[in-house]
Structure 1
Amino acid sequence: MIQGNKDGLETKTGQGSIFQRPAWVVVLALTAAMAWGWAFPLIKLGFGAFGITADMTGSKMLFAGIRFAMAGLIVLSVARTGGRPMSAGKKGDWWFVLAFALMNTTLHYFFFYVGMSHSEGSRAAILNSLSTFLVVLLACACFKSDKLTTRKMVGCAVGFGGIMALNIGGADSGRFTWIGDGMIILNAICGALSNLMTRGLSRRVDVFVGTGYSLTIGGLLLIVPGLMLGGSLPQVNVLGIVCLLLLIAISAIGFALYNKLLSVNPVGRVAIYNSLIPVVGAVTSCLCLGETFHAKYALAGGLAALGIYIINKGKN
């Protein structure tokens, strides 16, 4: 029997859901985070393989749109095969699904893909951890199940310090740019807000179905303007297709797991595991793309991870 509380969290009487068991929450949340960490080098590799340059905004939107629309269709197919209800509870709920798609996919990844093409993957991965700390703070303001504690404030302060550490040093070790870092920050804000909206999504439609609709609709809303801006995949080859298929799998698996976890657990308890994303993203970007691993990346990544550890230590 499923029950709800004032925050919209689902709880089960008797045997707990696998998505609420502490050990499985760790495993599933870390699986999603590690997968998303690999997205940073794969996107850069995909841009190069398809011949998409920094000034080809339409092509970047098309590339992102194909990724998310295909991932959404896969999630919807699995949900239908599993017999999940495919419609929202009320007609007006579809407006929320559309708003979620815009925030979680269209705007979120428009900013992300533009920022990635103007920033090193390792730098962007660490800067993107801003989303984790914003989620923790905003969840405390929005949900009674997430309490603002001294530990969380200290953890967020340490994490923000790590992000600020990215701007230590001269131009040769990376410097803040609006078209690069600024876009990644906007992406992080959209990600944080969509994390909070996931709770509302789960009250209106099955969370797996809602995730599928979000990815599909959000992807189409990237493809259409991308084509209108003259977007294309200038050159199609095996490497590009492999990168795109891997990114589609990352989105389908990552979002399905993560959104389900958010719908049945306190937001802060799940979001904190995203601290692994900047670590995985920075390391894999340097290994796969041959980027220089600056000393400040280790400092920034270490502080971000420490901030998350402080937040996660003890009960949330």
Structure 2
Amino acid sequence: MDNKKLLTNRKMVVLIASICCILWGSAYPGVKSGYALFKIAQNDVFSELSFAGYRFAIAGIMVLIIPLIHGKNIFSLTKKNIGQVVMLGLTMTTFQYIFFYIGLANTTGIKGSIMNATSTFFSVILAHFLYADDKVDAKKAIGCLLGFIGVFIINFSSKLLNFNFNILGDGFIIMAAFIFSASSIYSKKLSETIDVILVTGYQLLIGGIFLIIIGTFNKGYITNFTLPSTMILLYLALLSAVAFSLWTLLLKYNKVSSISIFNFIIPISGAILSSIFLGERILDLKNAAALILVCIGIYIVNSNSK
């Protein structure tokens, strides 16, 4: 079975997309553990940017090693291609995480998780205008709504009832979500003419390097490299390398809406994995209800796909 048949098979799409989102969800406890091991203070945004930069730069190197092992030339990009992957790296990695970390420093983790889930809505809406075969219909609207309700349930707190909107907090996280959605569609376009592995590897490496430069320039230094802290960093890099590579492949061969709906799994899996590995108390009933709603939403959206 060739790549296209494998990556458009419904069961494989569900499996691979779920794996990607569970891996991204595992970054929640992974990053928290990394901050503790590297002794990064809470709301030290520039150290967090440097930490993210190391993570993504290493992930990019991991991805680019694959074609090198197989004897492929990773320096075959044209000047136009180089400009395109630099743009992708700046948007998908650098700018997205700058907005995300600044936003998270100015709002609560609960609201941040909910606001970040708006990326699915942005992806579906952008796809509606960019692709003739990926229009918004009732099924997609209902599926997205159910998924968002699931994310809201697992993050529900009485504090959410006191609604207030902070531009530097909530606004920046929504901007990060929009950038991720737009750049994901851009990566889909690039994958039509550039090898997916090169697109993924270079965007992670370039975006990561810029994050390191920005963080370090503002005295966001990363120290305290020990065996445990290095292992956490390598794990976060590996999950990024695997998840971004597989996600870009899925986007290349499938409709944006049918793949982006799986993003609702990320905060659900992140909450569940945090409760397991960090001992955070989260009601099991709330987890189950959120997961069921997200799964129903995913099923509804993909039942409209071939």
What's the TM-score bracket when you normalise by the shorter of the two chains?
0.7 to 0.9
**2:47 counterpart of 1:59:** yes
Distance 1:124 1:68 in 2: 21
Q: Supply the AA of the counterpart residue of 2:262.
A: Y
Counterparts of residues 231-246 of structure 1 (less than 5 Å): 231-246=220-235
- For the 8 Å contact 2:134–2:257, the answer to whether it is kept is yes
Distance 1:174 1:240 in 2: 38
Tell me which residue corresponds to 1:196.
185
Quick one: structure 1 residues 282 and 181, their matched pair in 2 at CA, closer, same or farther if it must change by over 3 Å?
Answer: farther
- The structure in which a higher percent of residues are helix is 2
Distance 1:15 1:217 in 2: 27
Amino acid aligned to 1:77? I
The one-letter code sitting in structure 1 at the alignment partner of 2:212 is: I
- Which residue is 1:139 aligned to? 127
Query: What TM-score comes out, normalization by structure 2 length?
Result: 0.85
1 CA distance for matches of 2:291 and 2:5? 33
**Contact 1:129/1:304 (CA < 8 Å) preserved in 2?**
no
Shift in CA distance, 89/62, structure 1 to aligned 2, threshold 3 Å: closer
5 Å matches for 1:3-42? 16-42=4-30
Deviations 1:203-262 (A, max 9, x none): 342111111010000000101111100111243333322221110110111111111111
**Amino acid of the structure 2 residue aligned with 1:232:** Y
Asked if residue 230 in structure 1 is aligned to residue 245 in structure 2, the reply is no
**1:20 positional shift:** 2.6
- Tell me whether 195-204 or 215-224 shows the greater mean CA deviation: 195-204
Q: Secondary structure at the match of 1:232?
A: coil
Contact 1:166 1:300 in 2 (8 A): yes
Structure 2 letter corresponding to 1:224: I
Question: Is residue 312 from structure 1 mapped to residue 285 from structure 2 by the alignment?
Answer: no
Using the size of structure 1 for normalisation, the TM-score is: 0.83
The alpha-carbon deviation at position 58 of structure 1 amounts to: 1.9
In structure 2, the CA distance between the partners of 1:172 and 1:190, relative to structure 1 (3 Å rule), is: closer
Separation in structure 2 between the aligned mates of residue 29 and residue 17 of structure 1, nearest angstrom: 15
In structure 2, what is the Cα distance between the partners aligned to 1:17 and 1:292? 42
Match of 2:255 in 1: 266
Mapped partners of 1:258, 1:251: distance in 2: 10
Q: Which residue of 2 aligns with 1:129?
A: 117
Conserved in 2, the CA contact under 8 Å of 1:122 and 1:286? Answer: no
Kindly indicate whether residue 246 of structure 2 is the aligned counterpart of residue 257 of structure 1: yes
Aligned counterparts, 1:98-137, within 5 A: 98-116=86-104, 124-137=112-125
Q: Distance in 2 between matches of 1:57 and 1:216?
A: 20
Name the stretch that deviates more: 199-208 or 80-89. 80-89
Q: Which letter maps to 1:274? A: N
CA contact (8 A) 1:18 1:24 kept: yes
Change (3 A) 1:48 1:80: same
Q: Which amino acid aligns with 2:8?
A: Q
> Identity percentage over the alignment?
34
Instruction: State the distance in 2 between where 1:21 and 1:184 align.
Output: 33
Between the two proteins, the alignment pairs up a number of residues equal to 304
Show structure 2 runs of 5+ residues with no match: none
| In 2: Cα distance, 1:166 partner to 1:34 partner | 16
Contact 1:86–1:206 (CA under 8 A) maintained in structure 2: no
In the alignment, the residues of structure 2 paired with residue 83 and residue 238 of structure 1 have an alpha-carbon distance, to the nearest angstrom, of 32
Asked if structure 2 preserves the Cα contact closer than 8 Å seen for 1:119 and 1:181, the reply is yes
RMSD of the alignment, in Å? 3.1
**Post-superposition offset of 1:131:** 1.4
1:40 partner letter: Y
Specify the alignment match of 1:5 in structure 2.
none
Moved more, 282-291 or 297-306: 297-306
Counterparts of 1:309 and 1:118, CA distance in 2 = 35
Specify the SS of the correspondent of 1:256. Answer: helix
